[in-house]
A = this chain, B = another copy of it.
């Protein structure tokens, strides 16, 4: 049994991690740290886990966690994981960070898009970007894995194989629609139920922090126009990618690389994904349409932002880091309905 600790379990990414860890047959949750609720029983703070987890939240103590845990997941908000991750690494723990702090290699981009100075740049070199299909080998030995952002996962899985294709110079248009869990657990006017139910909106046009992350993982070969939207559902990201290639091409051969990927499902031409088929699963589904009339290539992808887009990918990283079957605890079809 792998001994697992978690830091920041009360956020949405953290709760989804707990849900997956509760059902994972090869791990044992030995510690859950949370500054705000230290000392309280986990199952009192998170009633969904009554009769699943029987431990108390504890104060964050990097040495203590490093001693008791084989791996520590960190699920604190953006900009807040630099410090605890650095402490955990210093104490010798293997860390899987589901936040954004160790994804961007370029600290200028981090500073610009997150509006904060990076305080643990020394760890950026060892940090492995946890997009499993593209970093599987590096993850096996990783001491620090940075789980990708939810939007980037939905965009990169279909786009990364295409960077060798004749895509031209027009920026890629990425219009994503996210469920509201992506906005996190903090109540606000905009996500108060009666305001957001039956509502839709776009936000952070041109300045969303996932833009440089996507461009980095496309190896800076494509510029990205990323426009995120919010629709009234809890889970799911639907991403519509519009490419303007120099010359239309069939993308199918580029996706042969995914044939044996356990959680990437390439639907093919003229077949489109839906959130219902990936909900509460670790899958990314995508299909495409080649528009002869306009000369554009359209790709649509779907993930569950909390599972396939965060916690499931994190558990898959863990499985690889500890030599387990990659799919352990993750073999769930979409929850439809």
A192 touches B187 (CB 8 A): yes
Q: Can you tell how many copies of this chain the complex includes?
A: 4
A263 touches B51 (CB 8 A): yes
With both beta carbons as reference points, the residue of chain B lying nearest to A261 in the complex is identified as B51
Tell me the residues in window 155-191 of chain A with beta carbons closer than 8 Å to chain B beta carbons.
Answer: 170-171, 173, 175, 177, 179-181, 183, 185-189, 191
A238 touches B195 (CB 8 A): no
B331 touches A22 (CB 8 A): yes
A273 touches B201 (CB 8 A): yes
Given A233-B232, A238-B201, is A187 in contact with B185 using a C-beta cutoff of 8 Å?
no
Of the residues B19, B183, B229, B285, contact of A332 by C-beta under 8 Å = B19
Contacts of A306 in B (CB 8 A): 337
Contacts of A203 in B (CB 8 A): 272
Measured between C-beta atoms, what is the minimum distance from A323 to chain B in Å?
18
A296 touches B335 (CB 8 A): no
A48 touches B180 (CB 8 A): no
Q: Residue A138 at the B interface, CB < 8 A? A: no
B200 touches A238 (CB 8 A): yes
With both beta carbons as reference points, the residue of chain B lying nearest to A330 in the complex is identified as B23
Of the residues B53, B295, B302, contact of A200 by C-beta under 8 Å = B302
